[in-house]
């Protein structure tokens, strides 16, 4: 009986040991299964981070290229937050900035200057006979119809007669019809003629300035009916011309 009891105790001890080992194995398997499950569960997240880390340089380059293509943040913000009228004003301002501006000449201050006269009035009186060109006019002294190639300027006997342009005295002579005559030549194939002059104070070859006195007013013989005056003629390369439009006011 005593031996049987000892065998029974050994069996119980072995069975308890085996049961304990089985429990440990089961617990170990359970822990292993949990570990495997955890690895499977968290493995995708770790892979995503790895992919993101590998792709990050490419994304940064794309971000830099996008920032270079887009306008500055401040300009984009002002455009987005501005009212429609402000957006239109901004667009017009940018268009004007891109369009080359032309400088506008400044307006002169004060009153505008009158253009310089091309001819100086050779005598101070009013015009009593106008330039006729090819039109015939009646000459009361000659009692005939003739062309009038110059103008007649009223002037008292002895009033100064002046050069209408700077030039040179080409000739001084006495004509039975026109009286004493002074002929001046000027640049540009221009000539001026002064008829009916008394007390001529220049001679051929003299250099003359505009406004310089040539003599004194008298009465041309072929226009005695008009009284004392100056007969003045102006001629260009194209022929006789009316000098009145060239006088200063």
Question: Which range has the worst mean pLDDT, 98-112, 140-154, 204-218, 232-246?
Answer: 98-112
- Of the pLDDT bands very low, low, confident and very high (cuts 50, 70, 90), residue 32 is confident
Average pLDDT over residues 230-246: 96
Higher-pLDDT residue of 93 and 178 is 178
Cα(22)–Cα(28) distance, integer angstroms: 10
127-246: CATH topology: Glucose Permease (Domain IIA) (2.70.70)
Question: Has this prediction a pTM greater than 0.85?
Answer: no
Higher-pLDDT residue of 193 and 14 is 193
Average pLDDT over residues 99-109: 48
| Buried/exposed code over 102-112 (b: 16+ C-beta within 10 A; e: otherwise) | eeeeeeeeeee
Average pLDDT over residues 109-121: 62
pLDDT, residue 157, reads: 96
């Amino acid at each position: 009986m005593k031996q049987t009891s000892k065998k029974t105790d050994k069996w119980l001890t072995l069975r308890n040991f085996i049961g304990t080992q089985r429990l440990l194995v089961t617990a170990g398997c359970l822990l292993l299964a949990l570990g495997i499950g955890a690895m499977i569960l968290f493995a995708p997240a770790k892979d995503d981070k790895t992919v993101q880390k590998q792709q990050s340089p490419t994304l940064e380059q794309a971000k830099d290229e996008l920032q270079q293509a887009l306008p500055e943040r401040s300009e984009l913000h002002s455009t987005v937050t501005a009212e429609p009228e402000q957006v239109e004003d901004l667009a017009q301002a940018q268009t004007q900035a891109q369009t080359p501006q032309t400088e506008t000449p400044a307006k002169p201050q004060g009153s505008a200057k009158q253009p310089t006269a091309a001819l100086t009035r050779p005598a101070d009186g009013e015009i009593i006979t106008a330039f006729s060109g090819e039109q015939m006019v009646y000459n009361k002294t000659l009692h005939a119809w003739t062309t009038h190639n110059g103008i007649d300027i009223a002037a008292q006997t002895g009033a100064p007669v002046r050069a209408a342009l700077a030039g040179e005295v080409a000739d001084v002579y006495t004509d039975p019809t026109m009286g004493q005559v002074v002929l001046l030549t000027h640049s540009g194939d221009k000539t001026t003629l002064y008829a009916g002059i008394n007390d001529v104070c220049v001679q051929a070859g003299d250099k003359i300035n505009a406004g310089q006195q040539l003599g004194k007013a008298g009465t041309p013989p072929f226009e005695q009916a008009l009284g004392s005056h100056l007969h003045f003629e102006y001629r260009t390369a194209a022929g006789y011309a009316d000098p009145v439009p060239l006088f200063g006011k």
